[in-house]
Amino acid sequence: MRRIRLPEQDSTTSVVVTTTRRPGRKQQGKSTRKRQPRYHVILWNDDHHTYQYVIQMMRNLFGHSVEQGFQIATVVDTRGRAICLTTTREHAELKRDQIHAFGRDPLMQDCQGSMSATIEPEPAAD
């Protein structure tokens, strides 16, 4: 507890202000908030979806540009999987579920439904 005495305004009046600090709270210094673990949203390749489908899905669900969508489509096609987004676990789960619910590719006759996606923890930085 700190007491601050203000200068007297006249000889008969004085004001005393008392301030208190909450116990356990730091007033200054580094924040002690722990960073939430991050997760990758992984899109898996199949032969039943077009580049146009992937690009449109990336635009609609993630807000990616056409160029970013094309890059993801190329990576998933050539490597079998692509990271669409790295975020918190809850947000990654939501995006995975949105991919699963995106629906079939109308340009492919043999397409039965949405693409597959999973989430996995981002590797720890060394």
DSSP codes of every residue in 35-86: PPPEEEEEEEP-SS--HHHHHHHIIIII---HHHHHHHHHHHHHHSEEEEEE
Per-residue pLDDT, averaged over 70-81, amounts to 98
- CATH class of this structure's domain 38-121: alpha beta
* 8: β partners: none
Query: How much is the pTM?
Result: 0.72
C-alpha to C-alpha distance for 89 and 119, rounded to whole angstroms: 8
Helices (runs of H) and strands (runs of E) counted in the chain: 3, 5
* CA atoms lying within 13 Å on the CB side of residue 10: 2
- pLDDT over threshold 60, residue 17: no
Q: pLDDT tens digits for 30-73?
A: 667 788 899 999 999 999 999 999 999 999 999 999 999 999 99
- pLDDT over threshold 80, residue 15: no
Q: What is the DSSP letter of 106?
A: T
